[in-house]
Amino acid sequence: MTLKDQITEDMKTAMRAKEADRLLTIRLLLAAIKQREVDERITLDDAAIVGVVDKLIKQRKDSIAAFQSAGRDDLVAKESAELAVLEKYLPARLSAEQVQAAVNALVAELGAAGPGDMGKVMGAAKARFAGTADMGVVSAAVKSALNK
């Protein structure tokens, strides 16, 4: 079963269970997937869908930080609930230690040295870690590896 099929089945389950908040989040995800498919005139595979989920998760995290600074606990709770639903569709993430080890290997593989090679390493890292690691953690690992 593809990830898109799983999301569609979860939407049907949420409808039957009358879970309005979960249903709203799943519909939002399906709409984002459909929008990208229409815009690019393609059918998204699981890796591309994980990218869409990652984007929505990043938006939720940014919103949570903004709402917390504004003292809007009601909106923080809503965004946190949406974040929990979206995270279910991500594959298992690499730990920070695993990311650091893989980035060190990548830096050695590319022969990168110094902060000037940050763009080259991040380009390769984005391709390699797409969907399996938080890109913020990857960026910090690359900076650390290049500043040694």
Indicate where the chain has its CATH 1.10.1510.10 domain(s): 3-87
Residue 145: band (very low, low, confident or very high) from pLDDT cuts 50, 70, 90: confident
Per-residue pLDDT of 22-70, as tens digits, reads: 999 999 999 999 999 999 999 999 888 988 998 999 999 999 999 999 9
Report CA dihedral (94, 48, 55, 81) to the nearest 10 degrees: -80
Amino acid at 84: A
The token duo for 18 is 């009358």
The model's pTM is: 0.78
Is it the case that residue 99 has pLDDT exceeding 80? yes
Indicate where the chain has its CATH 1.10.10.410 domain(s): 96-146
Q: What is 96-146's CATH topology?
A: Arc Repressor Mutant, subunit A (1.10.10)
Percent of the chain past pLDDT 90, that is, above it, reads 55
The token duo for 52 is 């869409």
Q: Which of 72, 57, 64, 148 is nearest to 104 (CA)?
A: 148
Q: What is 3-87's CATH topology?
A: Hypothetical Protein Yqey; Chain: A; domain1 (1.10.1510)
The token duo for 41 is 């005139």
Residue 109 region, left (φ>0) first, then alpha (ψ -120 to 50), else beta? alpha
